[in-house]
Structure formats: structure tokens, C-alpha cells
């Protein structure tokens, strides 16, 4: 679990209570610099961070700072650049989480350089994770976009669907972004109805997962089938059906909350 400092000025993270170890997460575009095997972050320096770097947080082993390298930067011997998504299941989970936060912070910082109201250049705040406009005081915080995921059950069966963007043969739970003003429960009822035309009840929270591409939070539930005829809408869902342990299609990768949701649900049915 990553702690956040009380002060986001770069020098403060080296206070004695945090310790002096520093891990520098270096990104080139959206690719993280890792050791050649991909199983560890490749930290390029032990120097103190500069003002254009962002404090990610700290744990009991290290402080973490991130920066974006120029596009022409070549990986040093023993290291390579890798898309973070490709490192799920290779890089340890705690390092994936740290790198995911780092990537989201870099993207927030890059896309909030100017005030959205008056276009004045913004400045980083020291005491909260924000960029503030010095002219009109508008603050911009890192954006997180919640998305619901729902695995519908009917007796010993689960509802799996193939999104039009999935590779052929791949099925998963239903999912969709929340609309402004909705609760997660509202979004589940709406998305399930819109995508496959059925009603559900007995919603139960299972787990959540940060998905930093670019800033989602997947919130996973199960729900019971409550009525309606299964009718994939065609433009989001290409096909959908009821499956059980004996006839499962190709499922999402093991690192996804979707896979965990499906396996945990099948285990109790
Ligand atoms: Zn402004």
C-alpha cells in the first residue's frame, strides 16, 4: 500500500521518517523503463528529483518519483521500455500499482498545464495533489473515471458477453462507464438493460481495480437475473449467452478483475 506525503514538494519526500531510498519511475510516452526480464522497475538515478518530476508516494522500502523521458531516450544496457499493460502478471502487483499511479499522475500533469477557464498556465500545489490557476483559482485534480462491471447469474449459470472490440472467441462480464449523476447501482441496471435487454436485482459488491489506461476504476459486482429476454444490442455487444463451469468460452486474462470476478463467482455457484 502506497502512502502519500503531506507535502508534494519534491525535496520533502526525503525526510528521515520516509527514508532515503528513491525509486525513479521513468516513462517514455506510455512505456515504463523496466529491467530486461520485465519483472522489476529499472530506476535510473539516486539523485534528488527535479521540479518537473512528480512524487508518486512512499512505502516502507522506498520513496517513488516519476518523470517522462524524451522520446529519443534509449534504454540503458539491461533495461527496456515496456507498455505497462504488457507487464501485468510479470511485474509484481505492488509495483504495477505504483507504476499505474505514476502513469496517471504524469498524464494528469501533462493535460492540465493551462487553466480550463481562463487559459493561464497552472502551478502545482504543495499541500494537495492539484494544479491551481494563479489568476482565477480553478483547481484541477487527477481524474478518475469509475466504471461498473457486472457478472449476472441465473442459478448455476453466468452471463458472459463478447464486446464488438474483443478478439474473436473472448467473452467477459458486462461493463460500462458511469454517467454523471449516477450511482454505481444505477449504472449497473442501465448498462445491463442497454447492452443485453434484461433486468437484474440483488446487486453485490465483489472487488475493484485501478485501470490506468488512462484513468479508470473498475468496480465489480454480481447480480441475479430478474427477467427479460437476452438481446445483445449489436453495436456494443456482439453476442451474449449463459455459461456454466462445463462450457466456458475464452475468458479475459488472469490479471484482470473481470477474470477474478468470474472465477470467484463460479466457485460459489
Ligand atoms: Zn484560470
The residues of the chain that CATH labels 3.90.79.10 are 145-268
Query: Which pLDDT value is given to residue 165?
Result: 93
pLDDT digits (tens, 9 = 90+) for 92-101: 989 999 999 9
pTM of the model: 0.87
Ligand 1 centroid distance, CA of 113 (Å): 11
Ligand 1 centroid distance, CA of 105 (Å): 21
Ligand 1 centroid distance, CA of 128 (Å): 18
Ligand 1 centroid distance, CA of 112 (Å): 11
pLDDT digits (tens, 9 = 90+) for 209-220: 999 988 999 999
Q: Examine residue 47 and say whether the peptide bond preceding it is cis (omega within 30 degrees of 0).
A: no
Q: In a 3-state reduction of DSSP, which class is residue 147?
A: strand
**Which one has a higher pLDDT value, 177 or 60?**
177
Query: Which pLDDT value is given to residue 49?
Result: 52
Ligand 1 centroid distance, CA of 43 (Å): 36
pLDDT digits (tens, 9 = 90+) for 72-82: 888 999 999 99
Task: Report the candidate in 158, 144, 146 with the shortest Cα–Cα distance to residue 188.
Answer: 146
Q: In a 3-state reduction of DSSP, which class is residue 184?
A: helix
Ligand 1 centroid distance, CA of 142 (Å): 17
d(Cα 195, Cα 185) in Å, to the nearest integer?
A: 15
- Lowest pLDDT segment from 4-13, 136-145, 214-223, 249-258: 4-13
β-pairing verdict for 123-124 and 139-140? unpaired
The CATH number of 10-111 is 3.90.79
Ligand 1 centroid distance, CA of 59 (Å): 35
Report the alpha-carbon angle 202-203-208, nearest 5. Answer: 160
Query: Which pLDDT value is given to residue 3?
Result: 85
Residue 46 has pLDDT above 60, yes or no: no
Residue 22 has pLDDT above 90, yes or no: no
Backbone angles phi, psi at 7, to 5 degrees: -130, 130
Ligand 1 centroid distance, CA of 141 (Å): 14
Ligand 1 centroid distance, CA of 110 (Å): 17
Residue 206 contacts residue 148 (beta carbons within 8 Å): no
Ligand 1 centroid distance, CA of 109 (Å): 16
Ligand 1 centroid distance, CA of 120 (Å): 5
Ligand 1 centroid distance, CA of 103 (Å): 25
Q: Which residue in the block uniquely carries the three cell numbers 512505502?
A: 59
Q: In a 3-state reduction of DSSP, which class is residue 241?
A: strand
d(Cα 176, Cα 45) in Å, to the nearest integer?
A: 40
Ligand 1 centroid distance, CA of 51 (Å): 22
Ligand 1 centroid distance, CA of 12 (Å): 28
Ligand 1 centroid distance, CA of 122 (Å): 8
d(Cα 83, Cα 190) in Å, to the nearest integer?
A: 33
Ligand 1 centroid distance, CA of 138 (Å): 6
Ligand 1 centroid distance, CA of 183 (Å): 30
Strand order, beta sheet including 22-28: 54-58, 63-68, 22-28, 31-35, 79-83
Label residue 14 by pLDDT band (50, 70, 90): low
| Residues 145-268, CATH architecture | Alpha-Beta Complex (3.90)
The H or E element containing residue 190 is helix 184-196
- 221: number of Cβ within 10 Å: 24
111 CB contacts (<8 Å, ≥6 apart)? none
Q: How many residues does the chain have?
A: 269
Ligand 1 centroid distance, CA of 69 (Å): 28
Ligand 1 centroid distance, CA of 242 (Å): 52
Q: In a 3-state reduction of DSSP, which class is residue 259?
A: helix
Amino acid at each position: 500500500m502506497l502512502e502519500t506525503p503531506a507535502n508534494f514538494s519534491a525535496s520533502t519526500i526525503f525526510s528521515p521518517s520516509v527514508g532515503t531510498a528513491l525509486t525513479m519511475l521513468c516513462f517514455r510516452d506510455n512505456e515504463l523503463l523496466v529491467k530486461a526480464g520485465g519483472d522489476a522497475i529499472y530506476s535510473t538515478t539516486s539523485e534528488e528529483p527535479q521540479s518537473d518530476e512528480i512524487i508518486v508516494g512512499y512505502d516502507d522500502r522506498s520513496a517513488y518519483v516519476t518523470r517522462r523521458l524524451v522520446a529519443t531516450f534509449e534504454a540503458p544496457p539491461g533495461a527496456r521500455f515496456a507498455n505497462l499493460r504488457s507487464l501485468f502478471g510479470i511485474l509484481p502487483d505492488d509495483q504495477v500499482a505504483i507504476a499505474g499511479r505514476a502513469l496517471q499522475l504524469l498524464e494528469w500533469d501533462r493535460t492540465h498545464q493551462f487553466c480550463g477557464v481562463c487559459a493561464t498556465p497552472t502551478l502545482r500545489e504543495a499541500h494537495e495533489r492539484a494544479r491551481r490557476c494563479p489568476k482565477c483559482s480553478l483547481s484541477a485534480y487527477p481524474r478518475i473515471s469509475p466504471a461498473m462491471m457486472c457478472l449476472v447469474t441465473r442459478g448455476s449459470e453466468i452471463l458472459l458477453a463478447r464486446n464488438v472490440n474483443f478478439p474473436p472467441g473472448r467473452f467477459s462480464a458486462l461493463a460500462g462507464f458511469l454517467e454523471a449523476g449516477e450511482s454505481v447501482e444505477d449504472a449497473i441496471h442501465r448498462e445491463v438493460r442497454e447492452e443485453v435487454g434484461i433486468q437484474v436485482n440483488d446487486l453485490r459488491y465483489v472487488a475493484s481495480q485501478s485501470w490506468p489506461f488512462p484513468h479508470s476504476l473498475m468496480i465489480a459486482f454480481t447480480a441475479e437475473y430478474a427477467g427479460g429476454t437476452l438481446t445483445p444490442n449489436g453495436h456494443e455487444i456482439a453476442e451474449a449467452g449463459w455459461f456454466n463451469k462445463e462450457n466456458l468460452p475464452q475468458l479475459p486474462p488472469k490479471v484482470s478483475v473481470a477474470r477474478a470476478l468470474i472465477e470467484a463467482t463460479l466457485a460459489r455457484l
